[in-house]
Amino acid sequence: MKERKAAAHEVAAAWETNADAWSRHTRSGYDVYRDALHTPAFLAALPPVAGLQGLDIGCGEGANTRALARLGARMQGVDIAPTFVRYAEEAERAEPLGIQYRQGDGMALPFADRSFDFATAFMSLMDMPEPGRALAEARRVLRPGGFLQCTILHPCFVPPSRRVLRDEQGQAFAVQVADYFRNPDGEVERWWFSTLPAELRQKDAAFQTPVFHHTLGAWVEMVVSAGLVLEAMIEPSASEEVAAQHPVVADTRIVPLALIIRARCRA
């Protein structure tokens, strides 16, 4: 269900509202797309980061930041929602990996120029009102030769209108998309993770996420305008084994749900 458009200043408040339930639900394994497909694909596509100084933009509760730290990167994480930062810091205290977290806006990063060897953004840039500004900020804090790797919902296959078509057995056989050229510009969408049990849906309110959409061409233009050189674009698709183990992600064998982009600063 969609509501009125969210003003830019409301986006941070919406994610702060989501943060507690989001953190608990993802840590309970209900974000299957992330855990079974998107994060493994992201890490598989990542250049070596051991020993490098990295920044995770829109780090949420820190699961992916911790995955990067376990690869040997010296990580910092930043998120707009204080509750996400609190969850991330609690995890760091429980299992110290040398990660520093702070609250901050991805469109105005609280770091000096040329502070990092690489930056990541797992499904966060697409939720910002002005992702071009966020890309420019990522470019600013990267050192020459450094790279940004981000994941977004695939603009071609997750436009404002999307519906998975299923047969009588519940198997996905097609994905219907529409409104590719329409930007909802912050319309608020209410939803839960599809695997969330009914009892938790009664306990926790649906997420309220302001939705923004940009065409593939617009994303490429924003990357280039930020002064980054496009290096790779990867479209994760579930293997037969993963789809059989986690049927909820089987639709990605028809079309991808996510797009991984890697871009680099000129040396």
pLDDT tens-digit readout, 37-63: 999 999 999 999 999 999 999 999 999
Specify whether the CB–CB gap between 194 and 166 falls below 8 A: no
**Does pTM top 0.75 for this prediction?**
yes
CATH number, domain with residue 172: 3.40.50.150
> What whole-number distance in Å separates Cα of residue 9 and Cα of residue 186?
11
Is the pLDDT reported for residue 3 higher than 60?
Answer: no
Residue indicated by tokens 């694909």: 41
**Block residue for tokens 């059989």:** 244
- Comparing 1-5, 48-52, 111-115, 135-139, the range with the smallest average pLDDT is 1-5
3-state secondary structure 36-95: HHHHHHHHHHCCCCCCCEEEEECCCCCHHHHHHHHCCCEEEEEECCHHHHHHHHHHHHHC
C-alpha Rg value of the chain to the nearest Å: 18
- The yes-or-no verdict on residue 9 having pLDDT over 90 is no
Whether pLDDT at 8 is above 90: no
Q: Burial code of 114-127, b = ≥16 C-beta within 10 A, e = fewer?
A: ebbbbbbbbbbbbb
What average pLDDT score do residues 69-75 get?
98
Number of domains in the chain: 1
Cα–Cα distance between 26 and 221 in angstroms, integer? 32
Encoded tokens for 45: 């596509």
Pairwise CA distance, residues 25 & 31, whole Å: 7
Give me 23's structure tokens: 């953190």
Distance CA 209, CA 196 (A): 17
Contacts of 177 (CB under 8 A, 6+ apart): 156, 157, 158, 159, 161, 162
Whether 156 shows a pLDDT value over 90: the answer reads yes
Asked if residue 26 has pLDDT above 60, the reply is: yes
| Backbone CA torsion sign across 164, 44, 144, 138 | positive
Instruction: Give the pLDDT band (50/70/90) at residue 110.
Output: very high
Query: Residue 150's pLDDT is what?
Result: 98
| Cα of 153 vs its chain's centroid, Å | 8
Q: What SS3 class is residue 224? A: helix
Q: What's residue 6's pLDDT? A: 63
Expressed as residue numbers, the domain containing 12 is 2-265
Residue 62: left (phi > 0), alpha (psi -120 to 50), or beta?
left
pLDDT in tens, 125-144: 999 999 999 999 999 999 99
By percentage, how much of the chain surpasses pLDDT 70? 97
3-state secondary structure of 175: strand
Token couple for 4: 């009125």
More confident residue, 55 or 169: 55
pLDDT at 222: 98
Other C-beta atoms lying within 10 Å of the C-beta of residue 6: 22
